[in-house]
Each structure stands twice: as structure tokens, then as C-alpha cells.
């Protein structure tokens, strides 16, 4: 049974895994968290692409049938490239979220993201194409990922940081907030508390899972609904810490976590499409 592989810079992509388990409980899922190099938000485009290629090379060795880029920064910089290079379906967390937002009657959208995601301008450009006359404001939130990775969501400092980043949403009367990083849903309660109920908040995990579900059901490589899928976890550093925090995020025991040395998988595997 070939698996669906999901990768992220750290813990945030577990929000995608959780959504996939809800929508596709029969599927085997492999997760890779690049915990040695988190966060990606301050990295250059070239560096993020290199990371994405290295992780993809490892995941291809696990006999996967689809790859999910469970990181907005990697989706912004590497999704099109990986889709062109790999000989299997590649999903990202940006495209399905754009489609979901397009169905809303939004007038002023705040895109919360890492510095790299906001700098890429991908949400701003694609939303402007989809929604005529919409105003899109990118808000860089560089401390959100460390808050989640260090499990500081309940610390008083987290509330102050949310207020510091999001005061513009209130001041400029933005009606929709996009959680443009898969770590950010883990701060949903703080964000909702600060913004109140009148602001629409959307995130990518559920939208991404629904897109993958539709794609798999329309192809013969979807697994039998009678099968209970298994989950495997890999990280690039500190598996015990990942296991501890991951179980708190998912609310279930996640089993063994294997640490992988990515330096051993730098060669592009045969599963990559050959150029020429």
C-alpha cells in the first residue's frame, strides 16, 4: 500500500495530517518534519527549494503515491518546481486555500504568513486574479512559528504578540484573515479571541485534505475504505521532542519517530523525471 507523504519545516504540517486522517482514514500517511532547520520563513527562495528537494528525495524512497507540501513557504517557492520534476501527484497548501477564499465575499483580506511567504507575494497575486477589486494585505508574523514549536501558545507573551501583529486587521477593518502557515491554526483560539466573531478566519489544512480526497477518489490508486491507514513519522532532529509535542497537538499517541540524516539522500533519485 503506497502512502501519502506530507512534509513541513517542523510541527505545523501535523494540522494537515490531522485533516487527512479525518477525510481519508484509510490512507497510510508518512510525515517528515524538518526540525533541524525550522523555521523556513527567514530562508531564501534558493535555500527553501534545496530543502524541499532533499526531503522529497528521501520521501520518494518510501514508495509514496502522492506528495503534499504541508508548508506555505515551501509551497510558495517549490510547489511548481516539484510538480514539474516529480513523476507523481504533488499537492500544496496554497492552491486549495485560494479556491476556498475565492468562494467568500471578501473585500479586504489579511494574509498572515512567514516573512518568506508574504515576500513571495503568491497569495496577493493569486487572490487578486480570482477576486475582482479585492484588497489583500500581507502581514508577516515571524514569531508565530517559534511560539508553536516551543509550545508557548498559553504563555501571556503569545497573546501580546498576536495583538502586535493583528492590530492592523482591526484598525483597517479587514473582513477575512488567511492563516497562511500550517503552524498558525494552533494559534486559532488566540487569534479568534483578539479579532472577535465578525472576522472570517480560514486555514489551509482542511481545504488541502478535501482537494486530495477528491483527487484520490477519482483515480484507481485510492485505498479501500475498509482499510485503516497507518502513520509513520520522520524528523531531521530531536525525535523525542517532536513526539512529545506532536502528541499534544494531535491528541493521540503517534508511535515511534525516526530521525533521518538528509545528507545521505542528496542524490536525486530515479523517481524524478529525467530532463531531455
Decide if 259 is catalytic: no
- Residue 181, Cβ density class (10 Å: 0-12 exposed, 13-18 middle, ≥19 buried): buried
Q: Is 8 annotated as a binding residue?
A: yes
Q: Is 182 annotated as a binding residue?
A: yes
> What's the CA dihedral at 195, 196, 198, 204 to 10 degrees?
60
Closest CA to 41 of 150, 120, 142, 110: 142
Beta-carbon contacts of residue 157 (< 8 Å; ≥ 6 apart): none
Q: Is 73 annotated as a binding residue?
A: yes
Cα gap 215→32, rounded to integer Å? 22
Q: Is 137 annotated as a binding residue?
A: no
| Active-site annotation holder among 141, 181, 189, 259 | 181
Decide if 189 is catalytic: no
Phi and psi, residue 170, nearest 5°: -70, -50
Q: Is 176 annotated as a binding residue?
A: no
| Active-site annotation holder among 21, 71, 189, 259 | 71
Cα gap 36→33, rounded to integer Å? 9
Q: Is 41 annotated as a binding residue?
A: yes
Cα gap 33→35, rounded to integer Å? 5
Cα gap 11→146, rounded to integer Å? 10
Catalytic residues: 71, 181
User: Residue ranges for the binding site for substrate?
Assistant: 8-9, 40-41, 72-73, 182-183
User: Residue ranges for the binding site?
Assistant: 8-9, 40-41, 72-73, 182-183
Amino acid at each position: 500500500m503506497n502512502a501519502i507523504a506530507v512534509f513541513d519545516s517542523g510541527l505545523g504540517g501535523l494540522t494537515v495530517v490531522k485533516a487527512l486522517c479525518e477525510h481519508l482514514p484509510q490512507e497510510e500517511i508518512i510525515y517528515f518534519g524538518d526540525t533541524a532547520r525550522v523555521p523556513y520563513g527567514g530562508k531564501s527562495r534558493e535555500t527553501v527549494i534545496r530543502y524541499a528537494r532533499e526531503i522529497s528525495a528521501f520521501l520518494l524512497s518510501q514508495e509514496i503515491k502522492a506528495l503534499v507540501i504541508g508548508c506555505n513557504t515551501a509551497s510558495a517557492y517549490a510547489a511548481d518546481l516539484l510538480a514539474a520534476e516529480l513523476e507523481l501527484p504533488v499537492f500544496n497548501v496554497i492552491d486549495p486555500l485560494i479556491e476556498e477564499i475565492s468562494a467568500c465575499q471578501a473585500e479586504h483580506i489579511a494574509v498572515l504568513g512567514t516573512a518568506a511567504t508574504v515576500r513571495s507575494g503568491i497569495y496577493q497575486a493569486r487572490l487578486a486574479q480570482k477576486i475582482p477589486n479585492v484588497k489583500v494585505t500581507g502581514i508577516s508574523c515571524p514569531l508565530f512559528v517559534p511560539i508553536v514549536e516551543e509550545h508557548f501558545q498559553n504563555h501571556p507573551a503569545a497573546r501580546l504578540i498576536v495583538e502586535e501583529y493583528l492590530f492592523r486587521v482591526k484598525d483597517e477593518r479587514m473582513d477575512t484573515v488567511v492563516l497562511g502557515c500550517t503552524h498558525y491554526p494552533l494559534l486559532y483560539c488566540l487569534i479568534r479571541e483578539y479579532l472577535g466573531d465578525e472576522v472570517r478566519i480560514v486555514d489551509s489544512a482542511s481545504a488541502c485534505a478535501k482537494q486530495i480526497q477528491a483527487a484520490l477518489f477519482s483515480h484507481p490508486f485510492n485505498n479501500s475504505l475498509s482499510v485503516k491507514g497507518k502513520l509513520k513519522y520522520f524528523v531531521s532532529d530531536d525525535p523525542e521532542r517532536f513526539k512529545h509535542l506532536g502528541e499534544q497537538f494531535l491528541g493521540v499517541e503517534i508511535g515511534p519517530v525516526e530521525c533521518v540524516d538528509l545528507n545521505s539522500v542528496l542524490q536525486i533519485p530515479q523517481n524524478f523525471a529525467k530532463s531531455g
